[in-house]
Amino acid sequence: MQRDLQLTIRMAISFLVLTLIYLVFLGFIATYFGLGILPIAMIAGLMIGAQWFFSDRIVLWSTGTKIVSKEEFPVLHQIVESLCQKANIPKPKVGIMKSDVPNAFATGKGPKSSVVVVSLGILKILDKDELEGVLSHELTHIRNRDVTIITLASLFSTIAWFLMQSSMFSTMWGGGYGGRQQQGGNTILVLIVAGIVWFLSFLIIRAISRYREFAADRGGAYLTGKPMNLSRALMKISGEVKVAPTQELKKIEGMNAFFIIPAISGQTIARFFSTHPPIMERVKRLMQIEQELRD
């Protein structure tokens, strides 16, 4: 499989910028709170460990996913087994999300402890070849360790968010009069810095997520050798998501970063700061891969 050089460079630049932002943020925290590098590293390490350990369990619980056996869904397991042999990765657990909204995702700490999930809705609208295309995309996420990458990338963004929230609360209720003026000024400084870090990392993490989706499309297309199967699946899923009941979308849209197609209810800021690239751009790239494979 040929590497998409432009995509690789964009991801590398995004991670570099994110790293620089986080280093500046760590320096600010160390200076402001009078902490050394070691205590901050320990706190960050504990948060990384907790987020990494519990993330997959939270995702499965939040989506109402049930792990299913080969006897319950033989065709689904057969496709996963075949693709895993081609990709040379351990077979993940297979789950079913009890939702009529067609979608799929993968989660887990690594290839040996991953889960690939499809919704009941996706099984109703895709044929076997299209389902294989979707699963090849999700297994590429597992092979590339994308869940771990996004989890680690979002760590200090989460810290900045909580600092911003606590500073906002402190500003509203904790100061501004008499002896509290200095404290209020310091709190506002924390609020501003945390807000800037959170917003910049928010944008960059979403860019990284979009790049990872392109990479998973590409990897899945080469894994099956049939890019148009994934292309047709994406178009079908996107069409069904657009007409799905708003209440059904709201139940699962909090997990949009994991899905192959975001479940956007139409009343969320996710329309403007999407974790996924536009469908037509993804289809266009898959068509280009189809041409590559024919030449």
Output 17-21 pairs: Cβ under 8 A, ≥24 positions apart. 17/204, 18/153, 18/201, 18/204, 18/205, 18/208, 21/197, 21/200, 21/201, 21/204
CA angle 181, 184, 189 (to 5 degrees): 130
Residue 161 CB neighbour total at 10 angstroms? 18
Extract the runs of DSSP E, i.e. beta strands, from the chain: 65-67, 93-97, 104-108, 114-119
Residues 227-276 pLDDT 10s: 999 999 999 999 998 888 888 887 777 777 778 988 765 545 544 567 78
Length of the chain: 295
Identify which has the larger pLDDT, 184 or 57.
Answer: 57
Q: Which amino acid is at 286?
A: L
Q: Give the pLDDT confidence score for residue 61 in this predicted structure.
A: 85
* pLDDT over 90 at 133, yes or no: yes
Q: How far apart are CA 206 and CA 23, in angstroms?
A: 19
pTM of the full structure: 0.77
Beta bridge partners of 119: 97
Catalytic residues: 138
pLDDT in tens, 145-183: 887 777 667 666 666 666 666 655 555 555 444 444 444
DSSP string, 219-241: HHHHHHT-HHHHHHHHHHHHHHH
Q: How far apart are CA 224 and CA 230, in angstroms?
A: 9
Paired sense of beta strands 104-108 and 114-119, if any: antiparallel
Q: Quote the CA–CA distance of 295 and 289 in Å, as a whole number.
A: 10
Where in the chain are the domains? 5-294
